[in-house]
Amino acid sequence: MDYQAILDDINVQIRPLLGSAGQVASYIPALARVSPFQFGIALRTGDGQEAEAGDSATPFSIQSMSKVFSLTLAMRSLGETLWERVGREPSGSPFNSLVQLETERGIPRNPFINAGAIAVADRLLSLGNAKANLLALLSGLCAEVIHMDSEVAQSEADTGFRNAALANFMKAFGTLDNDVAQVLDVYFNQCAISMSCMQVARAAGYLCRDGAHPHDGSQVVNEAQTRRINALMLTCGTYDAAGEFAFRIGLPCKSGVGGGIVAVVPDTLTLCVWSPALDNTGNSHLGRAALELFVAKTGLSVF
């Protein structure tokens, strides 16, 4: 398949739509300043071919896409014991909802809602060097040095009242072992990681290779764990639109409020799209449109 021609074509179709719909996330001040007139797309196949188009080399805030990588680290280090602190069911509630935590006694529904990712951050903190380990994982996966954007992290810390509420609530239920401020520091910094579409497509490469590292072939996670990460992405990765994503796109995806979406075609390739304006479900409006075009043009889907 001529992936470069397909991505060029998608870029030509999407560009005229920039600015036509959706809004950039405004609840994090540093994200509110990002221009919505940007669109990038990049992919990497399991055997290392790459293609990219548009603003594919521009770094953006990966936000909740980081939850895939923090989950990867936690699954690798903790195995099954991770699931004592976090569930595996779609939440059916907003990503930052407090309500479910009360009825479910402080155990978040899944690792991709904020409460779940905060519980995972607590586990990583207990293992030591959480932020450094996450950056080391990402830098190794894309063979480039990856950074956390301290301005974005500070902006989140200044305005993250709901996340602080979620963390305190879980602490009260005994779901968090560490100091709330330290757990939030890990969480805000992981959300503030800055990467381009090409870097994300490379970094996620193990998800289409049964867990094998895209460069050195070592197991990042094992085959069963890889399947489970993909399953969670499909069922829980795109906020309250996971059903609609499965229906229209049919690929494991994880989105973030920075406007990125990473998608996996198991055994074939990983893909990242980015455009900052979000639809009313919090997913990138044009990122979603681009994924629909990609599936239509290639026929690649898990269904």
Interface positions with ligand GLU (CB under 6 A): 63-64, 95-96, 114, 156, 163, 191, 256-257
CB of 68 to ligand GLU, least distance (A): 12
Cβ within 8 Å of residue 166, ≥6 positions away: 96, 98, 101, 114, 115, 118
Nearer to ligand GLU, 191 or 273 (CB): 191
- Is 187 marked active-site? yes
Q: What is the 3-state secondary structure (H, E, C) of 247-297?
A: HHCCCCEEECCCCEEEEEECCCEEEEEECCCECCCCCEHHHHHHHHHHHHH
Q: What minimum distance in Å lies between the beta carbon of 64 and ligand GLU?
A: 3
Kindly tell me which of 45 and 63 has the beta carbon lying closer to ligand GLU: 63
Smaller CB separation from ligand GLU, 96 or 301: 96
In our burial notation (b when 16+ CB lie closer than 10 A, e otherwise), range 28-61 reads bebbeebebebbbbbbbbbeeeebbbbbbeebbb
Smallest distance, ligand GLU to C-beta of residue 76, A: 22
Closer CB to ligand GLU, 11 or 70, in the complex: 70
Q: Which of 3, 24, 61, 64 is catalytic?
A: 64
- Coil, strand or helix: which one is 17? helix
Query: Is 3 marked active-site?
Result: no
Residue 191 C-beta: closest distance to ligand GLU, Å: 3
For residues 292 and 248, is the Cβ–Cβ distance under 8 A?
A: yes
Give the nearer residue to ligand GLU in terms of CB position, either 256 or 287. Answer: 256
Give 149 or 156: the residue with its C-beta nearer to ligand GLU.
156
Closest approach of Cβ 287 to ligand GLU, in Å?
13
Given the residues 24, 56, 66, 67, the one annotated as active site: 67
Q: How many CA atoms lie within 13 A of 47 on its CB side?
A: 0
Minimum gap (Å) between residue 95 Cβ and ligand GLU:
5
User: Residue 239 catalytic?
Assistant: yes
Helices (DSSP H) in the chain: which residue ranges? 3-14, 29-32, 66-78, 99-103, 114-127, 130-142, 150-159, 161-173, 180-191, 197-203, 223-236, 242-248, 285-298
Which of 42, 49, 59 minimizes the C-alpha distance to 8? Answer: 42
Active site residue 150: no
Catalytic: 27? no
List 56, 86, 171, 187, catalytic entry: 187
Backbone angles phi, psi at 298, to 5 degrees: -105, -20
Catalytic member of 183, 257, 264, 295:
257
Catalytically active residues are 64, 67, 187, 239, 257
